[in-house]
Structure 1
């Protein structure tokens, strides 16, 4: 994979470069935010890893700017900030994954490999999913409910896609965290509930028929009650 690493700590840069050496990854490094954003715009990368606290421009601003022109490149946030609100804010900027410092190289490798698998799977899965009058085109990443377009962030889209692929199946919060966010951290975080509520406001609230349901004590399910 062609990876852009935007990180200003030499020790972290060295750790990642050494840790990924020999795994068919090519790593380009930017040590400040402005350089990172410029490199992201000029080159094609398979993955971008962003620190949050950077000179010039922080990683969340870089992520927001990248998404203006590139909706598809996977972005992994690497940060010492580990509160729920920090994580939610990163996904609100359309990051794909979030890994807190200090981290283990094995976990970083696993997350990179996961993004690579997701990219391959997107080329082999069915292009359109339909449940009742909710339609998702996985090629264009367009979602419609009742013929009207629904504008979703990248994280909201991934969550809805996971619910739709697993329609009529109860998904626990742990299942959703692992699949949508690729996370294994404090299970007390309410990031799943926050994003389910975001989805409900866009998918269900404008209509009388609700598709996203809570199963108390178990998780969430997307189903057509008819």
Structure 2
């Protein structure tokens, strides 16, 4: 564990040598929440505005005027894919907040935990480098992958949150995971009806960052 922390701290110094403020927005321009996720955030099996990120856009209009959402989520995305896109995304969007909700596809493919940590660390570091606040959203794996892997997978998110001093929402699907009725026929992707529950779960962790 000490070695893992040390490696992450060195990576922090490499990807985010100094936190810079976001570029000033034109008067009246909305601040941006950038969501970098996979199919769980892209709204797989439904129109984009029905997913929890689409619902977030409408909630922001009501409860946090002056904010907008850019959904950079892609179905099938991995942490490696997110890491490869993050620099271009934050430079283009200049977000004030970045929500990183990746890892599910890494776990299902058995990606080595150290690789997943490096990828997510790069995403957090790049986001902080442009002055964005980060909300890290975790995922959990089924027990059939083995106790050591599933525990280590969960611990990855805690280690990253502690190292980079960012808030952590431990499990995106927490409020719906135990009820099969909340999932589509593939038993992996939440239904349209479950999206509001996911947003209600994310909102308390995200709301304090919208300053």
TM over 0.5: no
Relative to its length, the structure with more strand (as a share) is 1
Give TM-score scaled by structure 1 length.
0.32
Give TM-score scaled by structure 2 length.
0.34
Higher RCO (C-alpha 8 Å, min separation 6): 2
Larger Rg: 1
